[in-house]
Structure 1
Amino acid sequence: MYMTLSDISFSEFIKDFKQALNHLFHEQEDINLLSQERGLPPSVLKGIMDMQPLSVAIPKEYGGRGSIVKECLGVLSAASYESLPLSLTFGINIALFLEPISKYADEGVRKEIFDRFLEQQNMGGLMITEPSYGSDALNMKTLNREIDGGYHIEGTKHWQGLTGMADYWLIASRKELANGDLGRDIDFFICDTAQPKQQIVVEEYYDNPGLYMIPYGLNKVDVNVPANYKLNPESTGIKMMLDILHRSRMQFPGMGMGFITRMLDEAITHCRERIVGNCNLLGIDQVQFQLSRMQSAYTICSAMCARSCEISGIEHNLAMEGLDANAMKAVVTDLMQESAQLLVQLSGSKGYRTSHIGGRGIMDSRPFQIFEGSNEMLYAQIAEMVTRPMKKQKLNNLFDFLKDFKATAQSCEYFRKELSFNIGENLSQRKLVDLGRVLGRVICIGYVLMLEEKGFRKDLVENCITTVRQEVASILTAFHFDNTVKVVEDYSDNSSWMAFA
Structure 2
Amino acid sequence: MSIASYLSEELGSSVEFETFRESFRETLDNVFSRRADFDQLSTRRGLPPFVMREIQSHTPLSVFIPEEYGGRGGHVHECQAILAAASYESLGLSLTLGINGALFLQPLTKYGHEEIKGSVFERFIEDKNMGGLMITEPDYGTDALNMKTSYTENGDGTYHVEGTKHWAGLTGWADFWLVTARRRGQNGDLGRDIDFFVADMNQPEQMVEVEEFYENLGLYMIPYGRNNVDIRVPEEHRLQPESTGIKMMLDTLHRSRIEFPGMGMGFLRRMLDEALEQGRERFVGGKPLIDYDQVKRRIAEIQASFTACSAMCLHTSEHAGLEHNLSGATMTANSIKAVVTDLMQDASQSLLQLMGGKGYRLDHVAGRSVVDSRPFQIFEGSNDVLYQQISESVLKSMRTAEETNLHAFLQDHDLTSRAADYFSDTLDFEVDQSLPQRRLVELGRVLGRVVTMDMVIELGDRGFRSDLISNCLQVFQKNVEGLITTYQRSQSTSVIEDYGDGAAWLDYVDA
Q: TM-score range by the shorter chain?
A: over 0.9
Tell me what 1:39 maps to: 46
Distance in 1 (CA, whole Å) between partners of 2:380 and 2:268 is 20
Structure 1 residue 482, shift from structure 2 partner: 3.7
Tell me what 1:21 maps to: 28
Tell me what 1:139 maps to: 146
Tell me what 1:94 maps to: 101
Distance in 2 (CA, whole Å) between partners of 1:233 and 1:93 is 20
1:282 aligns with 2:290: yes
Q: Structure 2: which 5+ residue stretches go unaligned?
A: 1-12
Structure 1 residue 7, shift from structure 2 partner: 9.5
Tell me what 2:92 maps to: 85
Superposed CA offset, 1:392-413 (max 9, x none):
3332221111111111111110
Paired AA for residue 455 in structure 1: G
Paired AA for residue 119 in structure 1: E
Tell me what 1:3 maps to: none
Structure 1 residue 438, shift from structure 2 partner: 0.3
Structure 1 residue 278, shift from structure 2 partner: 2.6
Distance in 2 (CA, whole Å) between partners of 1:190 and 1:238 is 17
Q: Structure 1: which 5+ residue stretches go unaligned?
A: 1-5
Tell me what 1:263 maps to: 271
Judge conservation of contact 2:395–2:433 (CA < 8 Å) in 1.
Answer: no
Tell me what 2:118 maps to: 111
Tell me what 2:8 maps to: none
Distance in 1 (CA, whole Å) between partners of 2:158 and 2:191 is 18
Paired AA for residue 25 in structure 2: K
Superposed CA offset, 1:400-456 (max 9, x none):
111111111111101112111121231110000000000000001110111111100
Superposed CA offset, 1:338-384 (max 9, x none):
00000000111111111111110000000000000000000010011
Tell me what 1:227 maps to: 235
Q: For the structure 1 residues 64 and 8, does the alpha-carbon distance in structure 2 shift closer, same or farther, using more than 3 Å as the test?
A: farther
Distance in 2 (CA, whole Å) between partners of 1:381 and 1:470 is 24
Alignment of structure 1 residues 292-303 onto 2, 5 Å: 292-303=300-311
Paired residue secondary structure (1:118)? helix
Alignment of structure 1 residues 80-479 onto 2, 5 Å: 80-147=87-154, 148-479=156-487
- Aligned with 2:61 (options 43, 54, 69): 54
Structure 1 residue 8, shift from structure 2 partner: 7.4
Return structure 1 stretches of 4+ with deviation > 3 angstroms.
Answer: none
Paired AA for residue 173 in structure 1: A
Distance in 2 (CA, whole Å) between partners of 1:296 and 1:68 is 27
Paired AA for residue 9 in structure 1: E
Paired residue secondary structure (2:432)? coil
Distance in 1 (CA, whole Å) between partners of 2:242 and 2:483 is 40
Distance in 2 (CA, whole Å) between partners of 1:177 and 1:372 is 29
Paired AA for residue 207 in structure 2: Q
Superposed CA offset, 1:52-88 (max 9, x none):
1000001111111000001101110000000000000
Superposed CA offset, 1:237-262 (max 9, x none):
11100010011001100000000000
Distance in 1 (CA, whole Å) between partners of 2:86 and 2:317 is 18
Distance in 2 (CA, whole Å) between partners of 1:7 and 1:308 is 18
Distance in 2 (CA, whole Å) between partners of 1:149 and 1:403 is 54
Distance in 2 (CA, whole Å) between partners of 1:277 and 1:193 is 60
Paired residue secondary structure (2:478)? helix
Judge conservation of contact 2:439–2:490 (CA < 8 Å) in 1.
Answer: no
Judge conservation of contact 2:213–2:224 (CA < 8 Å) in 1.
Answer: yes
Distance in 2 (CA, whole Å) between partners of 1:104 and 1:56 is 18
Paired AA for residue 127 in structure 2: Q
Paired AA for residue 297 in structure 1: S
Structure 1 stretch 484-493 or stretch 7-16: which is displaced more? 7-16
Paired residue secondary structure (1:214)? coil
Paired AA for residue 66 in structure 2: P
Distance in 2 (CA, whole Å) between partners of 1:177 and 1:38 is 42
Distance in 1 (CA, whole Å) between partners of 2:490 and 2:79 is 45
Paired residue secondary structure (1:347)? helix
**Percent identity (aligned):** 53
1:496 aligns with 2:501: no
Paired AA for residue 83 in structure 1: S
For normalisation by structure 2, the TM-score amounts to 0.96
Judge conservation of contact 2:193–2:245 (CA < 8 Å) in 1.
Answer: yes
Structure 1 residue 100, shift from structure 2 partner: 0.8
Structure 1 residue 93, shift from structure 2 partner: 0.1
Cα RMSD (Å): 1.1
Superposed CA offset, 1:457-490 (max 9, x none):
1111111111111111111111011411111111
- The number of residues matched between the two structures is 496
Paired AA for residue 196 in structure 1: P
Distance in 1 (CA, whole Å) between partners of 2:408 and 2:236 is 51
For normalisation by structure 1, the TM-score amounts to 0.98
Distance in 2 (CA, whole Å) between partners of 1:416 and 1:274 is 42
